[in-house]
């Protein structure tokens, strides 16, 4: 029987287990850039087989929520 904690082959990767974390809107990037709390959040969950990161707006106009970490300024790119 296959169990949740067994590896899973996914295209070119082998996930260490079958736990997949769905994306969640964290709204904790007060300056709209990934910060220390972003790193802590993902480090705490890094034993999952796969993490789908939160939505990252690609422009100011594309922002749906406050305090989500974007990916369109130098500060944001450096943060990621």
Give the shortest CB-48-to-ligand FMN separation in angstroms.
Answer: 13
Q: According to CB under 6 A, which residues from 37 to 56 bind ligand FMN? A: 54-55
Q: According to CB under 6 A, which residues from 58 to 77 bind ligand FMN? A: none
Considering the rule CB under 6 A, would residue 25 count as an interface residue with ligand FMN?
yes
78 and 69 Cβ atoms separated by less than 8 Å: no
User: Could you list the residues that contact ligand FMN (CB under 6 A)?
Assistant: 22-25, 54-55
């Amino acid at each position: 029987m296959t169990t949740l904690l067994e590896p899973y082959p996914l295209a070119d990767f082998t996930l260490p287990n079958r736990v997949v974390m769905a994306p969640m809107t964290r709204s904790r990037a007060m300056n709209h850039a990934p910060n220390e709390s972003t790193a802590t959040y993902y480090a705490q969950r890094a034993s999952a087989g796969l993490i789908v990161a939160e939505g990252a707006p690609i422009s100011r106009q594309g922002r749906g929520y406050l305090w989500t970490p974007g990916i369109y300024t130098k500060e944001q790119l450096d943060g990621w």
